[in-house]
Amino acid sequence: MENYAKHEKDLIHQYEAEGFTHQFRYGSGSLIDTETKKKYAPTDLRIVEEHRYEGMSNPSDLSILYVLRTNDGIKGLFLMAYGPHADTDTADFFKEVPQVDAQ
């Protein structure tokens, strides 16, 4: 995957075309698949890629796109704010999620 895109939406569309179609939300210490409602702990997930963005009109609008794979084979995406607007519980959760080893 080429690491350059003008907007996170560009990468979201590219990853969806590669099968990363599930969306997740964070709640009560778990990442929750919005379709199946299944909850995942950090040990149930792997970060395949992550991409950070600054807002085009406001550089303080920072976001990070996590490309994820679950231990049961689900592939999906999670977009969150980071920097001064980050939710600290969500940020702490992702610090515990292992990254896929580079090959």
Cα-Cα-Cα-Cα dihedral sign, residues 49, 54, 56, 61: positive
The answer to whether residue 60 scores a pLDDT higher than 70 is: no
The answer to whether residue 30 scores a pLDDT higher than 50 is: yes
Q: Most distant CA pair in the chain: distance in Å?
A: 39
The answer to whether residue 57 scores a pLDDT higher than 80 is: no
Q: How far is CA 54 from CA 16, 57, 60, 77, in A?
A: 22, 9, 7, 18
Q: What is the pLDDT of residue 103?
A: 44
Q: What is the pLDDT of residue 102?
A: 52
The answer to whether residue 39 scores a pLDDT higher than 90 is: yes
The answer to whether residue 82 scores a pLDDT higher than 60 is: yes
- Write down the domain spans for the chain: 8-95
Cα-Cα-Cα-Cα dihedral sign, residues 14, 39, 44, 89: positive
The answer to whether residue 2 scores a pLDDT higher than 50 is: no
Mean pLDDT of the region 71-91 = 90
Mean pLDDT of the region 15-38 = 97
